[in-house]
Structure 1
Amino acid sequence: MTRSQVFGEVAEIYDAARPGYADALAAEVLAYADPGGRTAVEVGAGTGKATVAFAALGASVVCIEPDPRMAGVLRRNTSRYPGVRVHGGSFEEWRPGGRRFGLLFAATSWHWVDPVRRWDLVRDALVPGGAVALFWNPQGVRDTRVHTALAEVDRRHGIDRSPHSEPASSYGDVPGNWARQPGWPEEECRRDGRFTDLRAVRYRQEQHYDTGRYLGYLASLSRYRVLPPDRRERVLADTAHVLDAHGGGIEMDAFSDLFLARTR
């Protein structure tokens, strides 16, 4: 099983513990896209962390979600929004069927899409001038002492790029400046040449997790899911020990970094 297919094992934990996105983000995207009543398509909708925000603003959304367990939670979370439809399967396998959409968005899922085909697939899905919105929610630890102690736990257990792997101060003020972590799509989109009006927006807010919720968050991440169960339990126990020794939780700076572009 690949890392992109492990989330369904803990779909309920994922839904309860994973952070969402800045309240203003969905409105920003819809104002930019101006879909004019056209349906949007969401790539890798998960349990609906972003979907609900768009649906609450009146957007109709076709949600593409490959994991049936995640899709089950997604259907429950969006059941009160008749404009939301869920399609099972991967974005690469999905066919628009002659339809064209005014907006395509992906919430912390773009990096799972085939890098060779993804911009072609976006173009095939959108009307001329249609918008693409890609966004992520990285976090940084506010207390440097907690960061240092957790970094030692990660080093000891061979964990790479956990949510607490960087202090909040390392992110700077520029959207996509993810403390030396790759994945921001602007340069790739610019090289493609078929998109225009590229924009980047950052939202920032403080986020507190108590120990239990933070462990649930970590347990929902692919880099922890793929560990052997006994090793995963040890690293989570050691992480809990650090958090309990520093007041029973962790304070983070939570970013919502948004990339926007439209087809020429």
Structure 2
Amino acid sequence: MTTQRDRRQVFGEVAEAYDDVRPGYPAQVLDLIVAYAGRVPAAVVESGAGTGKGTALLRTLGVPLTCVEPDPAMAAVLARRFADDDLVSVVVSRFEDWTPPPGGVELLASAQAWHWVDPAARTGLAAAALAPGGVFAVFGHEFGFADDGLREAMDDVYERVAPEISDRVDRAHHVQPADSFDPDELSGGGLFGDVRMEEVVTVLPYGTSRYLTLLTTFSRHRLLPEPRRAALHRALAEVIDARGGVVEQKLTTVVCLTRRIG
């Protein structure tokens, strides 16, 4: 059985591809965060910054931004991306092992990464990183398909070639249900309050080759045996090419906002 620790190590194997094909975040996400906070924060910490998809958005705030990323390969891409930026600093560390600044910061953010932090400790760690009244923003994409017919055809391929990662209920083979973050965990314990959920929906086209590269950046696909993954991707390519060679990804960016009490 694959462990969480195993799965979070696979992204560095394809760090450059991850940076190239994973979608960034729309400006509306930052608008929601700032509106909730009521002001632009004086400083920001990002947990699980990866290669900088969320970082690029947070950087537009124009304030000091500390990026905590545990995977050295991912952090290397991130550091190169912001090498000449005095406002961005990169710390190669698990969030669980990182020490926040005295007094905390006004905004802690995590883009598509909070589920990798130890579930037993992460709420307390988030509170410890924030100043009293500070805002915690967790956001990430749910990947879907704009074309229901293409989705059904791809479901058939998954069930035939790689049934272990097929899921007709979720209909989104990029997403690992075990990786999901439940915002209800922030409601208990007296550390956070005023939990709000927002969504931003966009559609992004991927040509066949680029779409298959995108699939290689998801842990479910990376953990398939190489021959199985190659067979799956060949079969998916045939389906996509037969339908015009483009996958329109429906991205639902879910934003969870909450505030530290005290």
* Structure 1 and Structure 2 fold alike (TM over 0.5): yes
CA distance in 2, matches of 1:162, 1:139: 13
Q: Give 3-state SS (helix, strand or coil) of 1:51's partner.
A: helix
Paired letter, 1:130 = G
Matched, 1:258 2:255: yes
Aligned to 1:239: 236
User: What aligned pairs does 1:1-264 form with structure 2 within 5 A after superposition?
Assistant: 2-34=6-38, 38-156=42-160, 157-160=162-165, 166=171, 183-264=180-261
Cα gap change, 1:181 to 1:205, in 2 (>3 Å): farther
Contact 1:92 1:121 in 2 (8 A): yes
Contact 2:109 2:138 in 1 (8 A): yes
CA distance in 1, matches of 2:45, 2:8: 19
Aligned residues: 253
CA distance in 2, matches of 1:191, 1:120: 11
Cα gap change, 1:132 to 1:246, in 2 (>3 Å): same
Q: CA deviation at 1:54?
A: 1.2
Gap runs ≥5 in structure 2: none
Gap runs ≥5 in structure 1: 168-177
Cα gap change, 1:83 to 1:110, in 2 (>3 Å): same
Q: CA deviation at 1:100?
A: 1.0
Q: Sequence identity, in percent?
A: 38
Paired letter, 2:237 = A
Moved more, 78-87 or 66-75: 78-87
Cα gap change, 1:145 to 1:36, in 2 (>3 Å): closer
Q: CA deviation at 1:132?
A: 0.2
Cα gap change, 1:34 to 1:73, in 2 (>3 Å): farther
CA distance in 2, matches of 1:35, 1:261: 15
Cα gap change, 1:255 to 1:163, in 2 (>3 Å): farther
CA distance in 1, matches of 2:182, 2:259: 13
Cα gap change, 1:26 to 1:198, in 2 (>3 Å): same
Cα gap change, 1:83 to 1:145, in 2 (>3 Å): same
* Cα deviations by residue, 1:217-258 (Å, 9 ceiling, x for unpaired): 100111111122222111111111111111002112211110
Q: Give 3-state SS (helix, strand or coil) of 2:50's partner.
A: coil
Paired letter, 1:249 = V
Q: Give 3-state SS (helix, strand or coil) of 2:249's partner.
A: strand
Q: CA deviation at 1:92?
A: 0.7
Paired letter, 1:29 = I
Q: Give 3-state SS (helix, strand or coil) of 1:137's partner.
A: strand
Paired letter, 1:71 = A
Q: CA deviation at 1:163?
A: 11
Paired letter, 2:191 = R
Paired letter, 1:187 = D
Paired letter, 1:128 = P
Q: Give 3-state SS (helix, strand or coil) of 2:57's partner.
A: helix
Paired letter, 2:89 = R
